[in-house]
A = this chain, B = another copy of it.
């Protein structure tokens, strides 16, 4: 809890390509692995993982703000989906 009544939340946003969107990086990894001796790997998809902390009054407010952030800035909603994980930060609760 911060002095101004805000809590600190740890956020992870996983940005993944939507199903059906071509993933050249994933395809390249998948083709390369057998030549390195790694068998049985399939369905490789490469996305982004964005981690940060955000100050908000509660978890619902934090999730709403991050969702808005994803739609406007962090993802391209035409080709990407965002998986948002919000957890109360240990540092935030310890400092109350």
Residues of A whose CB lies within 8 Å of any CB of B are 6, 14-16, 26, 29-30, 32-33, 36, 38-56, 65, 68-69, 72-74
Contacts and interface: CB of A to CB of B under 8 A. Distances in A.
* Chain multiplicity (copies): 2
A9 to B, nearest CB: 10
Tell me the interface secondary structure of chain A in the complex: strand
Nearest to A30: B52
Closest 3 CB pairs of A and B: A40-B55, A49-B49, A44-B52
Nearest to A12: B14
B52 A49 contact: no
Nearest to A9: B40
Nearest to A47: B49
10 contacts: A16-B51, A29-B73, A38-B65, A38-B68, A38-B69, A40-B54, A41-B52, A43-B52, A45-B51, A47-B48
